[in-house]
Structure 1
């Protein structure tokens, strides 16, 4: 198991690698279908899928789920092992020993929780209505996992604590992209799951004779306490014939007040259906129930030994939309056909980046990471183009377009969205025009963290502006930038939004007036930079000039005496006491967002050269950057748990630090960037359940690895440039759209050889430590020659350093 202690210390890469998720220990050559469930057979994904470990991040604090979905899919059909406590944010955690059931929506790697809609659980005997505690066996409807290997070998003692590889080696739980299976031991039921874009299909094989049923739980969801249901109102279940249920609910969780509907069909008729309200059975024959705590039991013919199939479609619009999604996407009872299509789609999408490496571990880490970048954002529109907007009204899209949800923008603007502009260019117009549409429809304006038609207002800043500005600067069409401009201008210039009034009036946000004020000041400065870029492209020169100037407001929370960003009071005085590792100047106040003064001091992404002047020049800035990585890794007792992955005071397990290793390129010391990036690549990521340094955060944690493994990172996405790091792959071929291919190669690479000696671009010498998106998007070949010793001359000349604030480094 990858221990959290090793992450915190940032030590050398681990050498032990499990087989989890790759299923390489299974019989080779099985592409579709299963061996007989009775013999405990498994699946072996072919081709590129064998390198994806869907269990990465399901341990530790990764908060991922292992179930079946499609790329950017609206349905995430996955097991729920627990629905309370922070590490249950995705509904699943590697350390749990039982399964509550299988629900149809999940969040990938978030630090906040919601979803887990429409839990389905196969069972036998009397209907039990409570899931029970995750470690309590034999009373309620939870079930243990199969604790035996297919060949019959028993798991070692302690298997369920998350030890490396035990999930695939020693249990009946197996999965790969688009498919999941598990043996539920309580009643000896084999459960299999696969999905389309908007629907899921279950296959349950009952090995024992006797009364059986399918339980549908509409009260299930994420809850603050394991003894409470999630907060649901307006629930409805309606029985249609003897094989169909439809309904919906409103959920008051993180995305408070979101609505979601379902349509569920069985492959054979139920002998009877019992509806429950507040855990009391309604009279026999009741076909409709409304309330806040609804469940249904569909009783099955005990004489039938054929597997039962269950199809479920979902919709954010209405029941009819859920039924239409179901019927259009899974018209037949063909589980293996749906699974084969899911595997084919994942193969196609993952193959957009083809990589070579002598290390199986690196290939599995890379493709597991690439897989995670396609679990969000998620489609949130029906097959007929209807969707529920941020204004709660139902809208219809133009033909061929999709509406998206699950935008973790505070995280994903940094690497995930820049990555999409490279390998998902055809999807970018829908993703970004969707953000514009959300902005126009939302009563709260510029999107921050929208989830299923609800603005969660989670995290600080309004980094939807960055994603829109980046796409605009990179020349993407099919996005109505003009339509979005008034919304983003209003946020920057007028909205009274979480300290922006102070920010505009004083040039900073007082830390005795507004929480997390230092971080908010710095992130609003970067949003100013993004909105200035929008203004420039749309011909609003005066606003662009004013916003560019205001984007230097970071100066107003920088203390030249201590050389730290630090909290300042309303009276303009620095607040005391000050400790650079503290998250607040007192127990009452939190001055930084998931960070402290050390990390906040390097949040500047867009104006690095002018910022260096505040440290006395390049050497002073570089010395301070050295101090960040070499400082003691102490974390305050009151720090949030997602401050992790410590290398000195660089908390790499949290997104604000992701660009910081690349800042050495701006000082001309690219070899230090290379050393730190390679350290992160080798020590922070492994293809194991606890293989991430922090929350996955809807693809951002993994996108950093994907980009950095190819030697590229967008420190300032709006600039449209990528800074070189330390590529760890031998070769990567990226389909950049229009039939063009970007090839990245390394020569002389390997462990202990992190330093760039030289670079060529399309066969010509390239002395810069960066390259533009325009160059890469045209296709071509980028070759890095690597070595054991630093080439301190590479990228050292001012003209070879990355531009910042639209200018080159000062001579």
Structure 2
């Protein structure tokens, strides 16, 4: 009996250990793709791989770009990623999405499984059964990196999604029926207006293989996406419906082209494929994309997912995410912080996205087909946002991938008739969105940190060429006068400040090359921010082409005051390349610290909110707007005053209030990962205030400990001694036992590994 009791105790202990081990969550398990899917985060919950070309995700509404009276429908803005958590209707699952952007596009090739009477109209969300859409409950949803699942209630169909880099994998489990349908909607799109499609084409190759393409206009002026689609079982019949005048049809109705005819073409097409299914039978679909051709899509499909094994594809997607997420291991004060951190880290790896076939072919900016040589081509460069922290994070965590992105930007430059690096580009299109030429910041930051093998003269040539395109956004006036005049080009102060910073980046490249005259030229241009500083008002201020200040000026107004998405209080502090000089101009360290306090402590008045549709209450602390990028460096500016402890206070406060585990846990658009990159950096205790230099500004780490594994094989352990919610101030910082003097730390010191210790107080 005694032995039996001992055995029982041992078994209970073993089972207890096993249970405890099962409950240990991995970094992968902490990722919550639903964070940011409600309100203005503009993220999507669907399946993708790190930087993958396919983003297979649900569309929860079909909001027209224009209202019936021809006015722009502001509600469309909510659906930049195609999904809003507040919805209860799914219209289908499409293959391309942008994460966290402030503009909409993509949403290519929507697939929707249905049963019963075939209905090719999507219907409207407010009217159940008005079309092929279905209701769903969030309790049936599951989202993990590389996997998404939901139950479509109206059809009793379980939908599961996964993906490889270039192929989306669908699995739909049906009830027993002789009327199962898979709808392929080539009209549906996220930038949702009637004339987006230029042309579509679908070709039925055999009873289980379909190919085709779509050419669209929209935010991307002309965009080609090809596909190859394979079913796991033959369809019994198929057909399509065209939604435009077909009187010019070349067959003159000699054939019934809408049923079992192998070629479908037109501006607006919805196709369907019919099946019989047994109870619990799954129909699987492999859907590959290409920017080049259907042949390229077929090659991508055959190469990446040759077999029918959904579980294996899901496992492989998970393994890719685990590899990336495990590069940083953290311990935190509470579990929520881990969920926020790893979700943010996940969001930083959703763009830019892979943009080439497995053989290296891709469509270039010139709309010709190119082959990448010595690099992997990427697209979706939201550079006004991402040069600030996302690309610097890549230089820390993904240097080789960022090198490929630099080469992708240079390929864009080579294919540009303007002789310009990308401004905001996606899918072989330049959108010219926002201001500055921030690709030069990415080039300089990557070179200065030793992460590119591109010849320096090539970087300089592309950067200087971009900086001298006179017809671009006030740049000619900037070069001639030393500032952008407000009466010649709007948002003139913002443009002047950002051009000056970009020019400083070019000067760093010139310095590295030993080109002293070129360096001198661009250092002079880098001082042009001084030309829009008004000593009398003590603000950056719009100046006219006459050289006079514009008389109507309100430094708190965010509309029509020379700034874009900001005002003179916050955007006027954008001189990252010479912060000491900016502080001197504004009255010295104490006066500048007082100004920073006013920014955080003075609420934006309602009249400014009501006046400007771009502003909401989301992400606002006083006049500091964390929900927008131009101010992301501001909390760290106290480091250059007599009150660096206020940087520590502000950074911790922002981390703890502007990011949560809720579906609206992002305080603004994630902006292609920039908002999340800010959190990752700040949680670790430092931030790149000046991309293009090797320094990071120190803050106050949120983690208790972190271990970072770099691509060079070295590891950095970060320890915050005596860390707690109340201990936000830093007494001392040491790296490998040596005290850090000042409030910055070198990139090269970090990637050499060792132990970085913050002593909290």
Shared fold (TM-score, shorter chain, > 0.5) = yes
Give the corresponding residue for 1:623: 594
User: Partners of 2:168 and 2:520 in 1: how far apart?
Assistant: 51
Residue 53 (str. 1) matches residue 32 (str. 2): yes
Contact 2:698 2:743 in 1 (8 A): yes
Give the corresponding residue for 2:272: 297
Contact 1:79 1:100 in 2 (8 A): yes
Give the corresponding residue for 1:131: 122
User: Partners of 1:45 and 1:512 in 2: how far apart?
Assistant: 61
Greater shift, 632-641 or 195-204, is seen at: 632-641
Give the corresponding residue for 1:347: 322
Change (3 A) 1:364 1:432: same
Give the corresponding residue for 2:376: 402
Greater shift, 104-113 or 387-396, is seen at: 387-396
Q: Deviations over 1:187-243 (max 9, x none)?
A: 11000000000001000001243411100011111244xxx4461112111011111
Contact 1:194 1:200 in 2 (8 A): yes
* Residue 144 of structure 2, aligned match among 166, 173, 176: 176
Give the corresponding residue for 1:81: 60
Give the secondary structure class of the aligned counterpart of 2:276.
coil
Contact 1:642 1:654 in 2 (8 A): no
RMSD of equivalent CA atoms: 1.9
Give the corresponding residue for 2:445: 470
User: Partners of 2:364 and 2:516 in 1: how far apart?
Assistant: 32
User: Partners of 1:86 and 1:294 in 2: how far apart?
Assistant: 25
Residue 502 (str. 1) matches residue 500 (str. 2): no
User: Partners of 2:634 and 2:446 in 1: how far apart?
Assistant: 23
Contact 2:115 2:177 in 1 (8 A): no
Shift of 1:29: 10
User: Partners of 1:351 and 1:303 in 2: how far apart?
Assistant: 42
User: Partners of 1:640 and 1:744 in 2: how far apart?
Assistant: 42
Contact 2:159 2:173 in 1 (8 A): yes
Residue 420 (str. 1) matches residue 400 (str. 2): no
Give the corresponding residue for 1:489: 464
1:515-530 equivalences under 5 Å are: 515-530=490-505
Change (3 A) 1:278 1:447: same
User: Partners of 2:31 and 2:236 in 1: how far apart?
Assistant: 41
User: Partners of 1:267 and 1:46 in 2: how far apart?
Assistant: 34
Change (3 A) 1:208 1:580: farther
Q: Deviations over 1:436-458 (max 9, x none)?
A: 22222222312111101111111
Shift of 1:480: 4.1
Give the corresponding residue for 2:69: none
Give the secondary structure class of the aligned counterpart of 2:570.
helix
Give the secondary structure class of the aligned counterpart of 1:637.
helix
Contact 1:642 1:694 in 2 (8 A): no
User: Partners of 2:19 and 2:232 in 1: how far apart?
Assistant: 31
Contact 1:645 1:684 in 2 (8 A): yes
Shift of 1:303: 4.7
Greater shift, 307-316 or 200-209, is seen at: 200-209
Give the corresponding residue for 1:260: 225
Contact 1:64 1:109 in 2 (8 A): yes
User: Partners of 2:263 and 2:685 in 1: how far apart?
Assistant: 58
Give the corresponding residue for 1:638: 611
Give the corresponding residue for 1:15: none
User: Partners of 1:655 and 1:775 in 2: how far apart?
Assistant: 27
Shift of 1:591: 2.3
1:292-331 equivalences under 5 Å are: 292-303=267-278, 305-331=280-306
Q: How many residues align?
A: 718
User: Partners of 1:460 and 1:196 in 2: how far apart?
Assistant: 34
Contact 1:236 1:247 in 2 (8 A): yes
Residue 72 (str. 1) matches residue 51 (str. 2): yes
Larger fraction in helix: 2
Shift of 1:483: 2.6
Change (3 A) 1:726 1:100: same
Give the secondary structure class of the aligned counterpart of 1:431.
helix
Shift of 1:583: 2.5
Residue 705 (str. 1) matches residue 679 (str. 2): yes
Contact 1:45 1:176 in 2 (8 A): no
Q: Normalised by the size of structure 1, how large is the TM-score?
A: 0.86
Contact 1:355 1:731 in 2 (8 A): yes
Give the corresponding residue for 2:701: 727
- The gaps in structure 1 that reach 5 residues or longer are 1-26, 32-43, 148-166, 788-811
Give the secondary structure class of the aligned counterpart of 1:606.
helix
Shift of 1:402: 1.1
Contact 1:433 1:480 in 2 (8 A): no
Q: Deviations over 1:454-488 (max 9, x none)?
A: 11111100100100000111112333443343232
Contact 1:221 1:230 in 2 (8 A): no
Give the secondary structure class of the aligned counterpart of 2:200.
strand
User: Partners of 1:726 and 1:313 in 2: how far apart?
Assistant: 45
User: Partners of 1:264 and 1:641 in 2: how far apart?
Assistant: 40
Give the corresponding residue for 1:534: 509
User: Partners of 2:237 and 2:279 in 1: how far apart?
Assistant: 15
Residue 337 (str. 1) matches residue 308 (str. 2): no
Contact 1:124 1:187 in 2 (8 A): yes
Give the corresponding residue for 1:11: none
Shift of 1:592: 1.3
Give the corresponding residue for 1:680: 654
User: Partners of 1:30 and 1:333 in 2: how far apart?
Assistant: 32
Give the secondary structure class of the aligned counterpart of 1:597.
coil
User: Partners of 2:721 and 2:712 in 1: how far apart?
Assistant: 28
1:124-163 equivalences under 5 Å are: 124-145=115-136, 147=137
Change (3 A) 1:313 1:590: farther
Q: Deviations over 1:698-738 (max 9, x none)?
A: 11000000000000101001112101111010111111222
Q: Deviations over 1:481-516 (max 9, x none)?
A: 433432321222343211001111111111122111
Give the secondary structure class of the aligned counterpart of 1:107.
coil
* Residue 97 of structure 2, aligned match among 101, 106, 113: 106
Give the corresponding residue for 2:580: 609
Give the corresponding residue for 2:83: 92
Change (3 A) 1:309 1:743: same
Give the secondary structure class of the aligned counterpart of 2:710.
strand
Give the corresponding residue for 1:117: 108
User: Partners of 2:446 and 2:377 in 1: how far apart?
Assistant: 17
* Residue 366 of structure 2, aligned match among 366, 387, 391: 391
Residue 769 (str. 1) matches residue 743 (str. 2): yes
Shift of 1:761: 0.8
Change (3 A) 1:325 1:195: same
Change (3 A) 1:45 1:448: farther
User: Partners of 1:365 and 1:130 in 2: how far apart?
Assistant: 39
Shift of 1:427: 1.6
Give the secondary structure class of the aligned counterpart of 2:590.
helix
User: Partners of 1:640 and 1:673 in 2: how far apart?
Assistant: 30
Contact 2:553 2:561 in 1 (8 A): no
- The gaps in structure 2 that reach 5 residues or longer are 1-17, 64-75, 247-255
Contact 1:220 1:229 in 2 (8 A): no
User: Partners of 1:198 and 1:590 in 2: how far apart?
Assistant: 45
User: Partners of 2:531 and 2:117 in 1: how far apart?
Assistant: 67
Greater shift, 562-571 or 228-237, is seen at: 228-237
User: Partners of 1:514 and 1:276 in 2: how far apart?
Assistant: 47
User: Partners of 1:299 and 1:455 in 2: how far apart?
Assistant: 40
Change (3 A) 1:46 1:677: closer
User: Partners of 1:549 and 1:618 in 2: how far apart?
Assistant: 25
Give the corresponding residue for 1:600: 571
Give the secondary structure class of the aligned counterpart of 2:177.
coil
User: Partners of 2:224 and 2:672 in 1: how far apart?
Assistant: 21
Shift of 1:426: 2.7
User: Partners of 1:287 and 1:46 in 2: how far apart?
Assistant: 50
* Residue 216 of structure 2, aligned match among 219, 243, 251: 251
Give the secondary structure class of the aligned counterpart of 1:427.
helix
